[in-house]
Structure 1
Amino acid sequence: MIFTTTPDVPGREITENLGVVVGNIVQSKHVGRDFMAALKGLVGGEIKGYTEMLADARDLAIERMVAEAQRRGADAVVNIRFTTSAIMANASEIMAYGTAVKLK
């Protein structure tokens, strides 16, 4: 499966638009990570536990979006975008979305 943030796939022609596909995950914080984040907040720097958590969540959102595109018979997903939102004090949503297409 090809997936890209561009509106087309270089060298390929889009023959059919199969609609918007979405993958999302709501990720909550871990108490241990919160403790380490609080300590890191005192001295500054990257909070690697959160960086890893969000990277994993983003990857899972992409996997879910691609799985939906595959169920529709798509060859690719174009114009992929990401969005995040706070669901509650300790949880955030990461959503990946794009347009599922058939290619020639």
Structure 2
Amino acid sequence: MITTTTPSVEGKRIIEYKGIVFGEVISGVNFVKDIAASFTNFFGGRSESYEKELIQAREDAIKEMESRAESIGANAVVGVDIDYEVLGADNGMLMVTASGTAVVVE
């Protein structure tokens, strides 16, 4: 599966548009990660636990989008966009959405 943020795949011709596909992941941040992040916030530096959670959520959302594209007969996704949102009463949930256009390329 070719996945790109550009509207086309260099050196390949799009021969069919299959439609828009999405991959969504909603991830909760647990109590232990919150405590670790609060220390990082207080003392400064990077929050490795949050970074790992964000990376995993992004990778999962892209994989889900690619799987949905494949299920409708596409072999590429172009124009990919990744969005991040926080959800929940205490902003304790992270939502990552990957979207793009599923296509068939030569």
TM-score using structure 2 length:
0.95
Counterpart AA for 1:68: R
State the AA in 2 paired with 1:32: V
1:95 partner amino acid: T
Distance 1:3 1:64 in 2: 12
Corresponding residue of 1:16: 16
Q: Does 1:97 align with 2:99?
A: yes
In 1, Cα distance between the equivalents of 2:31 and 2:105? 46
Q: Distance in 1 between matches of 2:105 and 2:37?
A: 45
Q: How many angstroms apart in 1 are the aligned matches of 2:84 and 2:52?
A: 16
Number of equivalences: 104
Aligned-pair identity in percent equals 34
* 1:9 counterpart letter in structure 2: V
Unaligned runs of 5+ in 1: none
Report how far residue 84 of structure 1 moved: 1.3
Q: Which residue number corresponds to residue 33 of structure 2?
A: 33
Quote the RMSD (CA, aligned, Å): 0.7
Deviation at 1:37, TM superposition (A): 0.7
- In the alignment, the residues of structure 2 paired with residue 6 and residue 45 of structure 1 have an alpha-carbon distance, to the nearest angstrom, of 33
Cα offset, 1:59, TM superposition: 0.2
Q: Given the alignment of the two structures, is residue 62 of structure 1 paired with residue 62 of structure 2, yes or no?
A: yes
Query: Structure 2, unaligned stretches of length 5 or more?
Result: none
Q: 1:78 is matched with which residue?
A: 78
SS of 1:58's partner is: helix
User: Could you tell me the TM-score, scaled by structure 1's length?
Assistant: 0.97
